[in-house]
Amino acid sequence: MGSVALFNSIIYFFTEARKLTRAVNIFKHMKNSRNMDCRPSVRTYNILFTAFLSRGCNTYINHMYMETIRCLFRQMVNDGIEPDIYTLNSMIKGYVLSLHVNDALRVFHQMGVVYNCLPNTFSYDYLIHGLCAQGRTNNAKQLCNEMKTKGFIPSSKSYNSLVNALALCGEIEEAVKYLWEMIEKRRSTEFITYKTVLDEMCRQGQVGQAMKLLKEFQKKDILSGHAYRKLRYVLEDDYGDSVSHTRLR
């Protein structure tokens, strides 16, 4: 009795109530059903993927759940169910969260070739964030430029990840370039991003340029008064003599 829509609703509400075991039991019941109208659909799998991805709170847990997601995905494909863009993005996100970025890239490159789905902005954003987390700035910049040529605008998360990664890798000019680009695209810039760029500039002996950039942010009303003062105090605390000398000049 029932239908795939009914069972999907039951699975969804079990996952929302964080009763994952019960949701999986319903899924198994659907798999074993003699009624073909009750067999799992792409929606069924997507509900489970979302549930498993939301359970991870650290890399180890994400790694454990990713093994389950990988098995479910293989089962889905073997059953002849075509993955949609949500499915493939879930795989990319899962691999990124479990630090298997190369596996995420493999799924990305199969989109439009093996699977009848083209990457969207979420596909790029997940990958850019994952590549930046591993310090692979060249790959991240390549993907960022590729998504822009396709008419997508990187998210705030992508821009913040890229600017931070470039600054920490010593690529200050590139970091500042993408920072201004992020501001022009009206993406929200995190306080830690401003701090990282200015801090790395000072570390490289570019204290004058850092203070000049900070003042430029203030003049253009990019920073609030509170954020400006906080950043200035941080620089003065960390690079007191150099900042004082710069201000005197």
Query: What pLDDT score was predicted for residue 172?
Result: 95
DSSP 8-state code for residue 84: -
Report whether 39 contacts 33 (CB < 8 A).
yes
In a domain, 57, yes or no: yes
% of the chain residues with pLDDT over 70: 93
Reported as a pLDDT band with limits 50, 70 and 90, residue 57 is low
What is d(CA 62, CA 96) in angstroms, rounded to the nearest whole number? 9
Query: Poorest-confidence range of 7-11, 90-94, 98-102, 232-236?
Result: 232-236
pLDDT in tens, 12-46: 999 999 999 999 999 999 998 888 888 999 999 99
In 3-state terms, what secondary structure has residue 81?
A: coil
What is d(CA 126, CA 14) in angstroms, rounded to the nearest whole number? 27
Residues 115-131 have a mean pLDDT of: 96
Query: What pLDDT score was predicted for residue 246?
Result: 54
Query: What pLDDT score was predicted for residue 242?
Result: 58
Structure tokens at 91: 């795989």
In a domain, 55, yes or no: yes
- What is the maximum span of the chain, computed from C-alpha positions, in angstroms? 82
Report whether 223 contacts 194 (CB < 8 A).
yes
DSSP 8-state code for residue 88: H
Residues spanned by the domain of 55: 1-96
Q: Is 77 exposed, middle or buried (0-12, 13-18, 19+ CB in 10 A)?
A: middle
Whether residue 120 is predicted with pLDDT greater than 60 in this model: the reply is yes
Residue with tokens 């500042």: 176
pLDDT in tens, 174-196: 999 999 999 999 999 999 999 99
Residues 147-170 have a mean pLDDT of: 95
In a domain, 41, yes or no: yes
Residues 89-102 have a mean pLDDT of: 93
Half-sphere exposure of residue 206, counting CA atoms within 13 Å on the CB side? 17
Q: Mean pLDDT: which of 88-97, 205-214, 228-237 is highest?
A: 88-97
In a domain, 3, yes or no: yes
Paired with 111 in beta bridges are 115
The H or E element containing residue 31 is helix 20-32
In a domain, 108, yes or no: no
Neighbours of 224 (CB within 10 A): 10
Domain count for the chain, please give it.
1
In a domain, 9, yes or no: yes
Query: What pLDDT score was predicted for residue 49?
Result: 95
The dihedral over CA atoms of 190, 191, 195, 197, expressed in degrees to the nearest 10, equals: 20
pLDDT, mean over the chain? 90
In a domain, 67, yes or no: yes
Q: How many residues does the chain have?
A: 249
What is d(CA 71, CA 77) in angstroms, rounded to the nearest whole number? 10
Query: What pLDDT score was predicted for residue 64?
Result: 78
Report whether 44 contacts 27 (CB < 8 A).
yes
Residues 72-91 have a mean pLDDT of: 95
Structure tokens at 4: 């795939």
In 3-state terms, what secondary structure has residue 111?
A: strand
Query: Poorest-confidence range of 61-75, 182-196, 204-218?
Result: 61-75
Paired with 164 in beta bridges are none
Reported as a pLDDT band with limits 50, 70 and 90, residue 163 is very high
pTM (2 d.p.): 0.88
Which has more pLDDT, 67 or 160? 160
Query: What pLDDT score was predicted for residue 58?
Result: 60
What is d(CA 144, CA 146) in angstroms, rounded to the nearest whole number? 5
In a domain, 162, yes or no: no
What is d(CA 30, CA 48) in angstroms, rounded to the nearest whole number? 13
Paired with 115 in beta bridges are 111
Contacts of 113 (CB under 8 A, 6+ apart): none
